[in-house]
Each structure stands twice: as structure tokens, then as C-alpha cells.
Amino acid sequence: MTLRKLIPITAALAAASLAATACGGSAEPVAEGGSGTGPITVWASQGQEKEAAALQDIVTRFNTGQTAVKAQLRLIPEADYPKAIAATQAKALPDVLMVDGPTATNLVYDQKLTALDPFVSAKVRANATEAIKAQGTIGGKLYVLGQFEAGLGIWGNKKLLQAAGVKYPTGLADAWTAPQFTQALTALAAKDDDGKVLDIKENYPVFNGEWGTFGFSPILYSAGAALIRNGKASGALDSPQAVGAMKTFASWKRYVDANTKDDAFTKGKVALSWVGHWTYPDYDKALSKDLVLLPLPDFGNGVKSGHGSWAWGISATSKNAKAAGAFLDHLLGDGPVTQMTTANGAIPGTRTALAASKLYKPGGPLALYSAQLDKPCGDNADRSCAVVTRPLTAGYPVVSKQFAAALNEIYKGADPQAQLTKAAKAIDTDFADNDGYVLR
């Protein structure tokens, strides 16, 4: 099972941490528009088989559907892709490259991406969902756009919930509070042979890596805390609200199934599974009408979910950015977006494709994801918003690494205050050493 299958939002952010960002920060280079015709090179991460096949077909259709531009696609094995992008000098990058959302700022800082506005049509940019644009807007400029988005929530087994007499939410408006979620776990455990009723994907090899950050940092924002605030982790990551939320999270461990075979939910061993949209095909096949999608618990500042996924950008050293923009106009159109999201099960990244989806429309089985993405938080994660963009900073790999390490230790029983304070100090030290990763 590939990392993209486990969590399609991020591939090996550790590789981005290894890529020195110290070279960034000077005046931003702008790609050359070129003639708008001729060949362009395209790099992409080779993930799921169906996803790779869809991308190859999309490129073929682009090449045969017109004669002005020819895209030359290179698929790079997923495990090697982040390292390849990080290790390649800007001048040697392709015209178009796939970018993992949280690493986009790092690439902008390293002067490897150019702003999209001059090259991607206004119509395509306007049709992108607000959450997609939030992920790709760095320093006030749009650098990357994605074909698809990610969703986070709790899958429930109606049969097991009803058997335990547990009333479950119908949407964001009546989401469980954190205490109510604890009560639900307790009631479910009382009807379960081993008391293990919750899956949080402990079996993922990145539980103490990017899955930890993507899957559980939204808890901080739901409690009124944050990973970083105004460029500092101290006072945000180690705040009383963050400490309290992590204590509550750790208290649920007694109810968690280790899920070593990744079948705890599909086999009916647990009633609840805290994970993302990518499990829907398998879960739907296993549970059918007994499957229900629930929001994450509200820790006091409203339900908060993670979002963000793979996106596309144009290299800052492209000599034919107009042709690259024409390719992205095709790639980000409703037809290719629908083709890709049908293949990988992700959330369509355009307004019109999302509105046309039977899965994500109001009343559809995945409508919660759409409702959440309609409420991006931006810089102010108050009660009115529902999806939090991971910090748009070139220092994000350090933020993620430190939070995930703290989360892992807290989950194993370590003191939340000590671990979060340690992580906050490490993040702030790194930011100080790199002048705050300020884009100039």
C-alpha cells in the first residue's frame, strides 16, 4: 500500500526537510512566456495505478486534441519524487511539475515556482474551489492549483452505533463535542468484546509523521490553538487550549484498535474510523447502507478538518510558460478533473465538477466533505470555518516533524505540556535560524 493510498495529501515531507531552504528568499524569478507552442516537459509522482493511468490518458488526449503544444510526461516513483524535486536545480526542472500542497511554499522560497496568473486562464482560476486556492496562494500570489482535494472525518458503522444506543451527528451543525465523543466511545466499548471501538490508522507507517499532522493537528484549531501563529509556535502550539486538547486525544487511546491488518472497520471490529476520503471505496463496499460519514469532534472552536493535496505548478525557469499554462488549462478542466477523481476517489477541485458530483452534492454520501470545504479558515480559524490549511511557510516540514513527534509521545503517555513546549521551542529556533523563512 503506497503512501498516497494511505494519505494522498503528502508524500515524504521528510525529504523536504532534507532539502535545504537556505538558498531561498531573494527576488522572485518569473518564467518566460515563450511562443505558447511546441513541446513542454511535465513531471508527476507515480502513485496509485488507476491515478497514473488516468493522468497518462489525460496527457494523451491533450496531445491529440490540438497541434500547438505537446506535453512530454515523466512519471517518477512516488518514494523518489519529493527527493527528485528537492535535489534538482531550478534551471533543470520541467515546465510543469506536480507539487505536494504543503511543500509549495518551500518551492516558492527556493525560487522553483512562478506565479500562475499570467499563464493560467482567469476562467480556470475562478472555477477552482476556495480551499484549492487557499492551499496554492502564497504571499498573495497563486502558485499551484490542484485537480482534487482531500477530506477528513469519522466513518461510522450505523449498525454498531445503533446497537449501542449511540446517537450520532447528521452534519457540522450537530457535531459531537469532545466530551460527547468520549461518551460515545464509552457506550460503544460497553457493547464490544475488547472495548476497542475506534480506528485512527495506527497501522499507517506515517502515524508519527505527516498522517499525524494532517489527521490530528485540526484538533488544535478546533480547541482555539494552532500549530504556529504569526510565525511563532510558542504561545500557540503549547497553549493551554492545545495542551487540553492533546490530553483529551490521548485519553481515547484505551478505545483504539491497533488495526494491524487495516481491516478493523471493514470487518466490523470497530464502529468508528478517523481517516480521510481515500478509504471510501473500500468502506462503501464493505458496509454499504450501514456506512455514514461524520464530522470530527468539536473541541470548542467549531469542527475543524484538514485539507490539501497534490497540485500543479509551472517552474520559475520555464522558457515556454504560455504553453505550460495551456496544458494546465486542459488538466484543470472539468473533464480531466472528473476523470481523475473517478480514478482516485478524491474530491473534485473545481466548483462545477464538484457541483455535478453525485457523491458530494447535498444529500450525497460524501456531502460533508463539500460542506467543510465551503468554509475555509484562511488566517482566522474561528467558529465560522471548517477546513484549516497547513501553515503556508517554507518551514512547514519542521513544523510537521516537531508536532508529529510530540503527538506520538503524548499518545504513548508523555506529558502534553512538556512535549508541546519542546516542539514549539524547536520550531521557533529553526525559524530564527532561517530569518523566519520570509519570502522576499
The band of 58, judged by pLDDT with boundaries at 50, 70 and 90, is very high
d(CA 141, CA 422): 33
Instruction: Assess contact for 81 and 375: CB atoms under 8 A.
Output: no
Instruction: Assess contact for 418 and 409: CB atoms under 8 A.
Output: no
Query: Is pLDDT of 407 > 90?
Result: yes
pLDDT of residue 206: 76
Q: What is the mean pLDDT of the chain?
A: 92
Query: Is pLDDT of 16 > 50?
Result: no
pLDDT of residue 378: 82
The three grid cell numbers given for residue 217, joined into one nine-digit string? 493537528
pLDDT of residue 20: 40
> What does the pLDDT look like over 244-256, one tens digit per residue?
999 999 999 999 9
What average pLDDT does the segment 129-148 reach? 94
Instruction: Assess contact for 366 and 347: CB atoms under 8 A.
Output: yes
The band of 379, judged by pLDDT with boundaries at 50, 70 and 90, is confident
Instruction: Assess contact for 367 and 151: CB atoms under 8 A.
Output: no
How does DSSP classify residue 297?
P
Query: Is pLDDT of 8 > 50?
Result: no
> What does the pLDDT look like over 331-359, one tens digit per residue?
999 999 999 998 888 999 999 999 999 99
The band of 25, judged by pLDDT with boundaries at 50, 70 and 90, is very low
Beta bridge pairs of residue 156: 272, 292
What average pLDDT does the segment 197-205 reach? 94
**Which residue would you say has higher pLDDT here, 103 or 172?**
172
**Which residue would you say has higher pLDDT here, 25 or 27?**
27
d(CA 300, CA 134): 24
For the chain, the C-alpha Rg in angstroms (whole number) is 21
> What does the pLDDT look like over 414-428, one tens digit per residue?
999 999 999 999 999
- For 244, phi and psi rounded to 5 degrees? -65, -40
What average pLDDT does the segment 130-144 reach? 93
Beta bridge pairs of residue 137: 142
As separate numbers, helices (DSSP H) first and strands (DSSP E) second, the chain gives: 19, 15
d(CA 38, CA 69): 5
CA atoms within 13 A on the CB side of 259: 28
The full set of domains in the chain, from first to last, is 3-150+308-357 (3.40.190.10), 152-304+392-437 (3.40.190.10)
**DSSP string of 167-220?**
---SSGGGPPBHHHHHHHHHHHHHTSSSS--EE--TTSTTTTTHHHHHHHTHHH
Query: Is pLDDT of 311 > 70?
Result: yes
Residue holding cell 506536480? 98
Instruction: Assess contact for 112 and 106: CB atoms under 8 A.
Output: no
> What does the pLDDT look like over 69-109, one tens digit per residue?
999 999 999 888 988 998 999 999 999 999 988 889 999 99
- For 25, phi and psi rounded to 5 degrees? 110, -15
pLDDT of residue 28: 67
Displacement of CA 144 from its chain's centroid (Å): 14
pLDDT of residue 11: 40
Instruction: Assess contact for 337 and 348: CB atoms under 8 A.
Output: yes
Instruction: Assess contact for 359 and 138: CB atoms under 8 A.
Output: no
Lowest mean pLDDT among 93-107, 203-217, 255-269: 203-217
The three grid cell numbers given for residue 97, joined into one nine-digit string? 511539475
pLDDT of residue 27: 58
